[in-house]
Amino acid sequence: MSCKIKSIIIFIFCVVMLQPVLKAQTDVVKDKPLGSRNTKKEVKDVMGFGFLIRIFGLWSGPVTSSTPAGNFEKWYVDFRPVASAQISQFSMLDSQTVNNTSFFIVKHNGQLKVAMRTEGCFNKSCCTTYEVVDSVNEAKGYYRFSDFISGPKRAYTEFTFIENKFVMEVFTNKFNKVNPVELHSRFEAVLASRNAATEAIIEFGYPKPEMIKDFTDVFKNMKESIFFTPENDPYSSTSQTYTGNLTVNISIDSTLKTKDTDELCLLLTTEPLFNGLKYNLENLKYISKYVFLPLGTKTYTIRNVHPGKYYLYSYNDINNDKKHMTGDYMSSDINNILKVLPNDSVTVNTRIDMIIP
């Protein structure tokens, strides 16, 4: 999906420029303020270091795209640390459409910089792209990542942060079909919460100004930093640890009438969607992961689940509008709470047994 959805100049910061970034950290973990560990020198020594401070949290918003993947009313991403200097999100739409995005510190051209790795699958076609930060304006919350080899001539991704929002715009040459590059997709994200990342922040002392991968000669003799097969991927997802897997066994009450065109949905949130029996629509902003599945799916494993506590909800969408409203089916167990541990596998059951009133 990422290759369909997407295919900062050494700088010196003054203390005033860093204040909004450091405040954001201190507000999250008051008993162990991140700001106390991230000095002006650390941010100066790692190009794009401020980005690692801004990006963590639960975000959601609309995606507009010129790709076959189309537009999305809402995309939910959950960025949490998975290492001392790496943060990742793992999202999906269905079992065939996956987007995994990571930001981590690399050594490149003799300097420590933040890199971006995007692994995406769409209609069983997958690729992994790597970009490196090449332009930063911390005062304006601006960061640009571009292709390691071809630079912005092939592809680049811009992030602009303003308070509790960011805009991500992806530009590409559409696999060398257009010049100059054109807008590929735009994600307008709003922050829901940073709380879910707290445990991982404390666990790793995130973010630390240290190298995760040495990319000095990784893309040597390549024309662009993109891989269409996993064999030569310099930082494959299988080599990255810390997240867990969640296997969900799904059953549907036999008294509920279903048809082959029905669609199942599994939803993981970090906060409950119900206050007692009252549904709280606003809490959809706490979605961490979700997946749409064909009717008949009995078991599904959600991979790369951030360690933590979750609420599981399951639905049978009878009209395929993905809204799960009156008339659709859902599990009456609205307190299906589970906990995923680092590098662990968890199995839970869910039974769809009621009509949404």
CB-based burial of residue 4 (10 Å sphere; 0-12 exposed, 13-18 middle, 19+ buried)?
A: buried
How many C-beta atoms surround the C-beta of residue 347 within 10 A?
12
Tokens read off for 276: 């007692």
User: Strands 244-252 and 345-355, how do they pair?
Assistant: parallel
57 within 8 A of 192, measured Cβ to Cβ: yes
CA dihedral 258, 252, 91, 320 (to 10 degrees): 20
| Distance between CA atoms of residues 188 and 347, nearest Å | 34
One DSSP character per residue, 223-286 reads SSSEESSSTT-TT-GGG--S-EEEEEEEEE-TTS---TT-EEEEEEESS-SEETTEE-GGGGGG
273 within 8 A of 283, measured Cβ to Cβ: yes
172 within 8 A of 73, measured Cβ to Cβ: no
Residue 328 neighbours by CB under 8 Å, 6+ apart: 315, 316, 317, 318, 319, 355, 356
Tokens read off for 26: 């201190």
Alpha helix ranges (H) inside 9-115: 15-28, 40-45, 49-54
Query: pLDDT tens for residues 228-239?
Result: 988 889 999 888
Tokens read off for 52: 């690692």
Place of tokens 């029996």: 277
Low-confidence ranges of the chain (pLDDT < 50): 1-33, 35-39
Q: In the Cβ-directed half-sphere of 351, how many Cα atoms lie within 13 Å?
A: 6
Give residue 331's identity as a one-letter amino acid code: S
pLDDT of residue 158: 98
For CATH 2.60.40, the residue range(s) in the chain are 244-355
Specify which residues 345 forms β-bridges with.
245
143 within 8 A of 136, measured Cβ to Cβ: yes
Question: C-alpha distances in angstroms, 203 versus 211, 242, 246?
Answer: 18, 11, 21
pLDDT of residue 23: 44
CATH code of domain 244-355: 2.60.40
Q: 3-state DSSP call for residue 49?
A: helix
**Cis preceding-peptide flag for 180 (omega within 30 of 0):** yes
pTM metric for this prediction: 0.88
Alpha helix ranges (H) inside the chain: 2-5, 15-28, 40-45, 49-54, 198-204
Q: How many residues does the chain have?
A: 357
Question: Both ends of the chain: CA-CA distance in Å?
Answer: 35
Q: In the Cβ-directed half-sphere of 189, how many Cα atoms lie within 13 Å?
A: 26
